[in-house]
Amino acid sequence: MFQVNFSEQSMHELNQLDTRSQMLLVEVVSTLRQEQLDHPGDELGHFHRNGRTYYRVRAGEFRIYFEQQGEALFAHYILHKNTLTDFIFRFKLPFTEEFMVEQDDSFWKYLESLRHKEDVEK
């Protein structure tokens, strides 16, 4: 059983949930075993970004993105499934920390910022 630490974004999401949902999310992450992390399956995915290995586990309506830090797991993000932020993080699209925290940013503003970035690079 792992100790689980949470980022500010993760704690913010947890605090918005009822106690039962909070317990479910924490249980899903804390009961993972090392062998599951070593050989992820259907419920647990992993990918590499910026030299780090991130894991993604499903917990009901949420997706928890975390990394292993020694004997502990650090939950970077708790995101609702099928949201734009979940899609962006999962498919490694360019993002900023502010974008992940501000989940109410509109999709079209994000696309516009990408177009503006291309214009600046030209």
Domain containing residue 10: CATH number: 3.30.2310.20
For residue 14, the model assigns a pLDDT of: 92
Comparing C-alpha atoms, which of 121, 90, 118, 88 is closest to residue 105? 88
100-117 tens-digit pLDDT: 444 444 555 655 666 666
**CA dist., res. 65 & res. 54, Å (int):** 6
Give the pLDDT band of residue 121 (cuts 50, 70, 90): low
User: Does residue 119 carry a pLDDT above 80?
Assistant: no
76-85 tens-digit pLDDT: 888 877 665 6
Domain that holds residue 45: 3-121
Alpha helices, H only, the chain = 8-15, 19-30, 34-38, 84-90, 97-101, 107-121
2-45 tens-digit pLDDT: 889 999 988 988 999 999 999 999 999 989 999 999 988 777 88
Count up the domains in the chain and report the number.
Answer: 1
CA-based Rg of the chain, rounded to a whole angstrom? 15
| The pTM of the whole model exceeds 0.75 | no
